[in-house]
Amino acid sequence: MKIDGNAIRPGNVIEHQGRLWRAVKIQHVKPGKGGAFMQVELKDIRDGTKLNERFRASETVERVRLDEKEYQFLFADGDEVTLMDTESYEQITVNRDMIGAPAAFLQDGMMVTVMSYEGEPLSVALPETVVMAVAEADAVVKGQTASSSYKPAVLENGERIMVPPHIEAGTRIVVYTADGSYAERAK
């Protein structure tokens, strides 16, 4: 689907120079002399390289629609992660790098979203939050105020995060998968 160069928005995926790029940042620039243009920071979907490009309103770019499908996490084997389509029971194997740092929060049976283009998986997105148990937590230091102080803790998957002083070992908490930060105590 062709769009004008000034219609690019953050998050859009475009085809440019024979590769697929995701628009990360955009800035509309109106210089004192000459026509206005859109300064766009692009990130390659496959290898993560960045590119800054200028698009004028008169230029057109090809906007790409990615297919999104729910898959169930089965198991991880080294750097490979195996996922299953719950409708057709077809299994796919993707590299752990495609998931990134949130791969540490994968749990058996977890539903993930796979974005693909022409049948080729490009990225895997985990749910926004997961519930995990705290394996060990440091003791509370007397005199700390509860409002702004956090203490280190280790989750059941071995990840280290900062939690409020009232969280103890064995407590189940909600963790944001994007950055691995504490959200709240699990209900």
Q: Per residue in 29-59, pLDDT tens? A: 999 888 889 999 998 888 889 999 999 988 9
Check: CB of residue 160 under 8 Å from CB of residue 154: yes
- Torsion angle of alpha carbons 8, 9, 10, 11, nearest 10°? -80
Check: CB of residue 172 under 8 Å from CB of residue 133: yes
How far separated are the first and last CA of the chain, in Å rounded?
45
User: Beta-carbon neighbour count of residue 187 at 10 Å?
Assistant: 6
Residue scoring higher pLDDT (47 or 27):
27
Confidence (pLDDT) at 66: 87
Q: What pLDDT digit, counting tens, does each position of 117-142 carry?
A: 888 888 888 999 999 999 998 887 66
The letter for the amino acid at 50 is K
Residue scoring higher pLDDT (100 or 154):
154
Q: For a pLDDT cut of 70, what percent of the chain falls above it?
A: 96
Domains in the chain with CATH codes: 2-63 (2.30.30.30), 67-125 (2.40.50.140), 129-185 (2.40.50.140)
Does residue 21 register a pLDDT over 60? yes
Check: CB of residue 90 under 8 Å from CB of residue 84: yes
